[in-house]
Amino acid sequence: MEKKRTPRHVAIIMDGNGRWAQARGLDRTEGHAEGARAVRDAVETAARIGIEYLTLYAFSNANWQRPRAEVEALMRLLVDFARRERAELRAQGIRTVVIGQLEELPTATRQAVEDLMAYTADGQQMTLSLALSYGGRQDIVEAARALAVRARAGLVLPEEIDVDFFHREMSTSRLPDVDLLIRTGGETRVSDFLLFEAAYAELCFLDLMWPDFRPATLVECVERYGAKERRFGRTSAQVQSASGRAFDPIDQGL
C-alpha cells in the first residue's frame, strides 16, 4: 500500500458487540469478548499496512451508565487484554497510550493498563491509543478549564491561545489529527469521539457489527480513504497544482 495513500491516524468506534451477541441468543458480555478478537486483528493489520496511530474507542464516559454487570465485564476484559497482549504488542513495537480519565477506572483495571503502557513505552512501529472513560466534549472542557486557571495566574495571555496551544492541554496532545474515522454497528454518528481532532477526518460508517470486523475490512476502509481527494478547504485545482507540497489547514487558518 502506497505510503502517501495510507492515513497516518485511524480512529475506530467499535460498536455492535452487544447486538451481535443478542442476535445469536448470547449474553451481551459474550459479544464484548468476541470483539476482543477483532481488536487484535485491527491492531495487527494497522501496524502491518503502515498506520502510525490507531485509536480505539474502548469505553466512553457515558458507558458508566450501562448495567453494572456489563461494565464489570468490560473492566475484566481490559485487564485481560492488557496482560495477554502486552508481550505481542512489545514484540511488534507498538506503544500503548491512554486518552480519557484513566483515574476513573477501577484500581485493578487502571494498574493493568498502566503496566501495559510502561511495558510498551519504547515501541516505535505504531502508537495504539485506548480511549477509556473518554468523552470529546469533556476533554475540551478540561483543557479550557486548565487554560483558564493558568490565565488567571498570569501564566497565559489570551493572544497566545491558538489551535495548537489549546490541543497541548488535551489528553490527545500526543496524537496528530485523525485522518480516517471508522464506525461499525450501522450507526452514522460520532458519539462524542475525538470531536476536536477529527475536524478534517474522512468518515467511514459500516453496517457490520464489531465482532465481524476483519483485517480485510480495515484494508478496504484505508483503500477508500486513499481514493479520496483531501482538499482542506482548497479547490481541486489547487490540490492538483500543489505537487505534493505539505498542507496544514491549521497554518492556513481554515
* Average pLDDT for runs of 10 along the chain of length 254: 78 96 94 94 96 97 94 94 96 97 96 97 97 97 96 93 95 96 97 97 97 97 87 61 54 47
In the chain, where are the structural domains located?
3-137+172-241
pLDDT of residue 243: 53
Give me the pLDDT at residue 196, please.
97
- Write out the catalytic residue numbers: 15, 63
User: What's the confidence (pLDDT) of residue 5?
Assistant: 82
**Which homologous superfamily does the CATH classification assign to the domain defined by 3-137+172-241?**
Decaprenyl diphosphate synthase-like (3.40.1180.10)
Q: What is the pLDDT of residues 127-173, one digit of tens each?
A: 999 999 999 999 999 999 999 999 999 999 999 999 999 999 999 99
Q: Which residues pair with 56 in a beta bridge?
A: 12, 130
Predicted pLDDT of residue 253 = 46
Task: Write out the DSSP string of the chain.
Answer: --GGGS-SEEEEE---HHHHHHTTT--HHHHHHHHHHHHHHHHHHHHHTT-SEEEEEEEEGGGGGS-HHHHHHHHHHHHHHHHHHHHHHHHTTEEEEEEE-GGGS-HHHHHHHHHHHHHTTT--SEEEEEEEEE-HHHHHHHHHHHHHHHHHTTS--GGG--HHHHHTTSTTTTSPPPSEEEE-SS----TTSSTTTTTT-EEEE-SS-GGG--HHHHHHHHHHHHTS---TTS-HHHHHHTTT----TTTTT-
